[in-house]
Amino acid sequence: MSKTKVIGIVAASLAAVAIGQVASYRVVNGRTDADGFPTTSAQLCIKSGTVDQCYSPPSPESPLPPFGLNATARALKLATGAALIVFTAESSSGGSGSLTSIALLENRNGQLINLLPNVGLTNQSEHHFWNLPAVSAMPVLVTADFVRSEGETHFSPHRYRITSFVYDRQGGRYVQRDQYVTEKKHPGLDDVDNIDVLAPEKTSIVRRLQNR
């Protein structure tokens, strides 16, 4: 099967994909209203027998709309040679901020299971799946999202909340293993095009995980 990434699918369009050991699937953006804001959630669907089995992210808290925009999917290869699907979709109602849902999907006997707890990140954030064999045989999800303090503007430098999720074999899902707020401020989107917090914090992140 070919290895393909689906990125930035336009609203209400869909694409069939086959990645590594992942079954063929399609990504569908949610419906939008006349202003371009989502009214339904995006979906990732696989064929199971004669019907589609689909995953949609849970809706964020009101008044935010569903996670229906800019749906993306990519393969996450495991050490075993198998692969999971990283699925993201965005919620936005205008303004300078948005929220992105991150799911890590496994096909269990034709059912799509999200291995992560609910993970939502703002548009001033960063996330990576790291291979850290000393911590877990499965990839570790690490996220960084800004913490706004008094006197700071939206995209000014901020301290960031670092959260690490590690796979729990007994429960068969990921759990939050660690969380802390950086001591120093890192540049925001006023000064950089992309948030770069996790690389300079990696030594501290790994040390904290290994000590738990």
Report the amino acid identity of residue 89.
A
Say if residue 35 is in the same domain as residue 55: yes
Say if residue 139 is in the same domain as residue 47: no
Mean pLDDT of 20-48: 88
Domain limits for position 128: 124-212
Say if residue 79 is in the same domain as residue 97: yes
More confident residue, 11 or 48: 48
Question: Whole-structure pTM over 0.75, yes or no?
Answer: yes
Mean pLDDT of 182-197: 94
Say if residue 113 is in the same domain as residue 130: no
Candidate from 46-55, 153-162, 178-187 with smallest mean pLDDT: 46-55
More confident residue, 152 or 160: 160
Cα 174 to Cα 24, 64, 117, distances in angstroms:
24, 26, 7
More confident residue, 139 or 149: 139
Which of residues 84, 119, 154 is at a domain's end? 119
Which of residues 119, 148, 171 is at a domain's end? 119
Statement: residue 21 has pLDDT above 70: no
Say if residue 153 is in the same domain as residue 70: no
Rounded to 10 degrees, the C-alpha dihedral 170/83/135/201 comes to -130
Say if residue 67 is in the same domain as residue 172: no
So what's the pLDDT on residue 51? 84
Say if residue 59 is in the same domain as residue 90: yes
Statement: residue 16 has pLDDT above 60: no
Q: What per-residue string of b and e applies to 48-82 under the rule 16 or more CB within 10 Å gives b?
A: eeeeebbbbbebeeeebbbbbbbbbbbbbbeeeee
So what's the pLDDT on residue 22? 62
The structural domain count of the chain equals 2
So what's the pLDDT on residue 24? 81
Which of residues 91, 119, 147 is at a domain's end? 119
Say if residue 108 is in the same domain as residue 200: no
